[in-house]
Structure 1
Amino acid sequence: MLSRPRALGPLVALFTAGYLAPYLLPTVVGRLSAGLGLTPAQAGLVGSVLLLASASAGFTLAARVERIGPRRAARIGLLAMGFGYGTAALGASVPLVVGGAVVGGFGSGTATAVAATGIAARRDPHRASTLGLLSVSAAAGALYLTLPHLGGGHALPFASIALAALLVWPLTSGLAAGPRRGGARRAVTVTAPVSAPLPHRRSGMVLAAGIVLWSMAQNALWGVSGRIGLTQAGLSEVTVGAVFAVALGAGLLGVTAAGALGARLGRAVPIGAGTAVIACCVLLSSAAGSLPAFAAGEVLWNLFYPVVLSYLLGLAASLDPRGRWAVLVGSASSLGVACGPVVGSVLSEAAGYPGMGLVLCVVLLLVAAPMTAVALHTSGRPLVPGSVRRRGGAPAAVVAGTTSASTGLLPQIGAPEQEIAELPVATSRRAVQRSFRLARPADRG
């Protein structure tokens, strides 16, 4: 019996709550430095610890969400977010704030893992990822406009994330209560055992390794963007917050355009060309010395960043209908995000902000090539059952298994390729002549 797709709203809400901490990273790091008397490198290290905890949760839960149950895992993550970030908001000492950030980060990673697993099982994972990025961009933009007017200190950003987790809690009732028995992609139930091996291992590993460096380069600049605006460009905190809000608003437009564009250009062009454009924006933003240059770099960068990220998440979801690669690649992205603030702080102190931007630009250009190659290698058109042998076995079976044709005629996902056996056919001259005589009356008609 075919399983009914779960509502998309709870998954988008979980995605928003899980990604909110990385999106608020500049204000979190900046306020930790100002409120607790930490150096920029120490504040960046606290942000990295938070995101590292988030990444570790994703790696731990990559293949366990179905076993635990999406609703239970989501509620555990949201509870950890509320407790951890709430503790960090109320804490006045560095150890208490760091401990709360670690617990909250683990909760964020858990919520993101549940959302990624559910999104990968959707009929259109790219559209679901786009809606999630649209939601988190809107929420983060609203907070960047609001927080500077409510006072300083590190309590407000942490309290905002904790509040978001509490608001998402009631929506978890729309998730499955127990272990999921099947997926919902194109109304085809996935019955692979829990211990089934990961498909597309080589492509998945290349994509995961690439997105670590991609995310690290992005967030190395994002983690110090607030300081670039305050110190190098000479702007006030209110002005920097307004620039970030406008930039995230541009991200909303980019994500909307990506959702409307869909798969018309495939995945390789948005990933490769988009990353090249982002590299140029990083170079512009890091060298900004005035409001126009800083705003142009941040707005253009945030316009393209969520577009490329949506295609990367959609590519990861397409590698495994059970969502394991989606969670692993998302966790690899969180790992890169975790390393970003420290890398940005170290590079900016060693080479200055323009030198840091040049290094990050080169890293982005280098990493664009393998990720684009993965998108080209794993892309393909829907196949008919007879074309599996010509197109390459198990990967073709995955694509054919996601079409709307009758499942009885399609190869099973992950099934071994069948050997082609030639059948001997004995043909005699008399049999050919007899077949010709039987066919002649039809030819006259």
Structure 2
Amino acid sequence: MSSRPRAAWPLVAVFNAGYLAPYLLPTIVGRLSTGLGLSSAEAGLVGSTLLLHSAIAGFALASRVDRHGQRRLARLGLLLTFAGYGAAALTSYVPLVIAGAAVGGLGSGTATAVAAAGIAAQRDPHRASSLGLLAVSATAGALYLTIPRLGGGHALPFAALAVAAVLVWPATARLTGAGTVAAPGGSATVPFSSRTPLPRRRSGIVLAGAILFWSMAQNALWGVSGRIGTTQAGLSEATVGAVFAVALGAGLTGVIGAGAVGSRLGRAVPIGVGTALIGGCIVVSSSARGLVGFATGEVLWNLFYPVVLSYLLGLSASLDPRGRWAVLVGAASSLGVACGPMTGSLLSEHTGYPVMGLAMCAMLLLVAVPMSAVALHTSGRPLVPGAIRRRGGNPAAVVAGAAGMASTGARVPQIGAPEQAVTEIPAPVRARRRRLIRDRSSKVLAS
């Protein structure tokens, strides 16, 4: 058993390679439509096929990452990612492109599942999730600035995904092997033990179901954003790419801010209020008729989207330290992402982009309620000074904030930390204790 701390950066790198495909979805769908002569619905269906296979991999590996080992599964995922997307980039034969996208999707889902399970075992899952989203946003923003300047065709975005898998491969050497599992807190690896039942089943099921529709609404717009910019707003591909790059830069700012705020506001407020703001941004972007409206909607949307997503990933990781709910919720999100392009394409073709945006906004407002409820139910009440007083008075608060205690690694209550559960003592036990104290007091007075 190793006692060395496990760094988060290999997991962040693998997360980057696995989660990059959904971020590049607009340019993938747009170039499939223009480069291969596919209709909007057909190009959206190819994008949905890619993401559907990513979700399938996540559901299949939810409870198997510990058994097979992070290193082996991550390398398998990166190999499938390189082979599938590389094959799709090298051919213009539509059936082979679809097959390559499906294989690459399996690889992306496998890599994401490994990263999600490992991030859940970190000491601070929200911070690790934020780092992963930072890496993905930065990489995707750089690609949106670069790809339009390298030429047209569908090959470039697929080739970028394949190259990302190759660059991440060396990081897999730092992941755990088969038969071990990262201990909660990310401080060590311990031998893999027998299965334990999923904790917090009701909360996990509600969160997984809600995030499916949450992701569907997000990617219904994201999958057709490129076409909104070029057809409805009348912008060039280079201008749309620049808007996406600025938007993803705003996403970087949002994730940094979310990491700085941390859990000070809890999870319910960022998830609920952020989702409502995202719905408004979708309406603005889908109704845009020029550069100002399109850029405003896309930039603000990408500012709030990764913030809410980071809190959702942190919430799913908190449900199970072994990361099973994180993988399942991530797979449900991928399933929603897979349905998003097809949903957006079909709705926009039959009703237009503005009506599609209104429908997705209504869906987001509906799912914000159960997601916020899960966050309230599982996060616990904040530990306030009154709670510290019940556990030892003002001196306890002084001890909790002392620098010397922090240096020794002692586990002390902190302001804003979740309150520990209180075990109720049955009434007969308390009655016997009062009688015992009364008897002892009588004996002392009698003596």
TM over 0.5, shorter chain: yes
Indicate the RMSD between aligned Cα atoms, in angstroms. Answer: 2.4
Contact 1:5-1:184 within 8 A present in 2 as well: no
Q: Which residue of the partner structure matches residue 45 of structure 1?
A: 45
- Structure 2 counterpart of 1:364, one-letter code: L
Counterpart CA distance in 1 for 2:55 and 2:279 is 24
Give the drift of 1:178.
2.2
Deviation per residue, 1:356-411 (Å, 9 max, x gap): 0010010001110000000000012589xxx9xxxxxxxxxxxxxxx9649xxxxx
Counterpart CA distance in 1 for 2:29 and 2:349 is 16
- Structure 1 counterpart of 2:58, one-letter code: G
Counterpart CA distance in 2 for 1:216 and 1:182 is 32
User: Are residues 429 and 325 of structure 1, via their aligned partners in 2, closer, same or farther at CA, if it must alter by over 3 Å?
Assistant: closer
User: Are residues 58 and 427 of structure 1, via their aligned partners in 2, closer, same or farther at CA, if it must alter by over 3 Å?
Assistant: closer
Q: Which residue of the partner structure matches residue 152 of structure 2?
A: 152
Q: Which residue of the partner structure matches residue 436 of structure 1?
A: 445
User: Are residues 430 and 249 of structure 1, via their aligned partners in 2, closer, same or farther at CA, if it must alter by over 3 Å?
Assistant: closer
- Structure 2 counterpart of 1:345, one-letter code: S
- Structure 2 counterpart of 1:297, one-letter code: G
User: Are residues 366 and 120 of structure 1, via their aligned partners in 2, closer, same or farther at CA, if it must alter by over 3 Å?
Assistant: same
Q: Which residue of the partner structure matches residue 134 of structure 1?
A: 134
Contact 1:348-1:355 within 8 A present in 2 as well: yes
Counterpart CA distance in 2 for 1:13 and 1:2 is 22
Counterpart CA distance in 2 for 1:418 and 1:87 is 62
User: Are residues 75 and 419 of structure 1, via their aligned partners in 2, closer, same or farther at CA, if it must alter by over 3 Å?
Assistant: farther
Counterpart CA distance in 1 for 2:186 and 2:148 is 45
Contact 2:286-2:353 within 8 A present in 1 as well: yes
Give the drift of 1:436.
2.5
Give the drift of 1:9.
1.1
Q: Which residue of the partner structure matches residue 196 of structure 1?
A: 196
Counterpart CA distance in 2 for 1:428 and 1:10 is 58
Q: Which residue of the partner structure matches residue 92 of structure 2?
A: 92
Among all aligned residue pairs of Structure 1 and Structure 2, give the percentage whose two residues are the same amino acid: 68
SS in 1 for 2:5: coil
Give the drift of 1:185.
1.1
Matched, 1:320 2:329: no
| More displaced stretch, 201-210 vs 420-429 | 420-429
Q: Calculate the TM-score normalised by the size of structure 1.
A: 0.88
User: Are residues 432 and 374 of structure 1, via their aligned partners in 2, closer, same or farther at CA, if it must alter by over 3 Å?
Assistant: same
Count of residues paired in the alignment: 412
Contact 1:277-1:304 within 8 A present in 2 as well: yes
Q: Which residue of the partner structure matches residue 297 of structure 1?
A: 297
Q: Which residue of the partner structure matches residue 104 of structure 1?
A: 104
Counterpart CA distance in 2 for 1:418 and 1:172 is 47
Counterpart CA distance in 2 for 1:261 and 1:379 is 16
Give the drift of 1:193.
4.2
Q: Which residue of the partner structure matches residue 55 of structure 2?
A: 55
| More displaced stretch, 183-192 vs 37-46 | 183-192
Q: Which residue of the partner structure matches residue 398 of structure 1?
A: none
Q: Which residue of the partner structure matches residue 69 of structure 2?
A: 69
Deviation per residue, 1:17-55 (Å, 9 max, x gap): 011000000000000011111100000000000000000
Q: Calculate the TM-score normalised by the size of structure 2.
A: 0.87
Give the drift of 1:187.
4.7
User: Are residues 328 and 437 of structure 1, via their aligned partners in 2, closer, same or farther at CA, if it must alter by over 3 Å?
Assistant: same
Counterpart CA distance in 2 for 1:428 and 1:275 is 55
SS in 1 for 2:153: coil
SS in 1 for 2:122: coil
Counterpart CA distance in 1 for 2:381 and 2:192 is 23
Q: Which residue of the partner structure matches residue 18 of structure 1?
A: 18
Give the drift of 1:5.
3.1
Q: Which residue of the partner structure matches residue 80 of structure 2?
A: 80
- Structure 2 counterpart of 1:99, one-letter code: A
Counterpart CA distance in 1 for 2:139 and 2:131 is 12
- Structure 2 counterpart of 1:37, one-letter code: G
Contact 2:69-2:176 within 8 A present in 1 as well: yes
Matched, 1:368 2:368: yes
Give the drift of 1:190.
7.8
Counterpart CA distance in 2 for 1:35 and 1:181 is 45
User: Are residues 429 and 281 of structure 1, via their aligned partners in 2, closer, same or farther at CA, if it must alter by over 3 Å?
Assistant: closer
User: Are residues 96 and 382 of structure 1, via their aligned partners in 2, closer, same or farther at CA, if it must alter by over 3 Å?
Assistant: same
Give runs of aligned pairs for residues 329-348 of structure 1, distance below 5 A. 329-348=329-348
Counterpart CA distance in 2 for 1:154 and 1:260 is 38
Matched, 1:163 2:172: no
User: Are residues 163 and 182 of structure 1, via their aligned partners in 2, closer, same or farther at CA, if it must alter by over 3 Å?
Assistant: closer
Deviation per residue, 1:123-180 (Å, 9 max, x gap): 0000000000000000000000000010001100000000000000011111112222
User: Are residues 432 and 245 of structure 1, via their aligned partners in 2, closer, same or farther at CA, if it must alter by over 3 Å?
Assistant: closer
Deviation per residue, 1:296-320 (Å, 9 max, x gap): 0000000000000000000000000
Counterpart CA distance in 1 for 2:169 and 2:243 is 31
Contact 2:145-2:241 within 8 A present in 1 as well: yes
- Structure 1 counterpart of 2:24, one-letter code: L
Give the drift of 1:264.
0.6
Contact 1:67-1:180 within 8 A present in 2 as well: yes
List runs of 5+ in structure 2 lacking aligned partners: 388-408, 413-422
Contact 2:33-2:40 within 8 A present in 1 as well: yes
Counterpart CA distance in 2 for 1:429 and 1:52 is 69
Give the drift of 1:7.
1.3
Contact 2:6-2:187 within 8 A present in 1 as well: no
Contact 2:176-2:182 within 8 A present in 1 as well: no
SS in 2 for 1:185: coil
Counterpart CA distance in 2 for 1:59 and 1:205 is 13
SS in 1 for 2:78: helix
Contact 1:11-1:115 within 8 A present in 2 as well: yes
Matched, 1:266 2:266: yes
Deviation per residue, 1:300-357 (Å, 9 max, x gap): 0000000000000000000000000000001100000000000000110111000000
Counterpart CA distance in 2 for 1:258 and 1:419 is 40
Contact 1:3-1:184 within 8 A present in 2 as well: no
Give the drift of 1:194.
3.5
SS in 2 for 1:250: helix
User: Are residues 65 and 418 of structure 1, via their aligned partners in 2, closer, same or farther at CA, if it must alter by over 3 Å?
Assistant: farther
- Structure 1 counterpart of 2:323, one-letter code: G
Contact 2:5-2:188 within 8 A present in 1 as well: no
- Structure 1 counterpart of 2:444, one-letter code: S
Contact 2:204-2:319 within 8 A present in 1 as well: yes
Q: Which residue of the partner structure matches residue 308 of structure 2?
A: 308
Deviation per residue, 1:190-209 (Å, 9 max, x gap): 88944211001000000000
Q: Which residue of the partner structure matches residue 402 of structure 2?
A: none
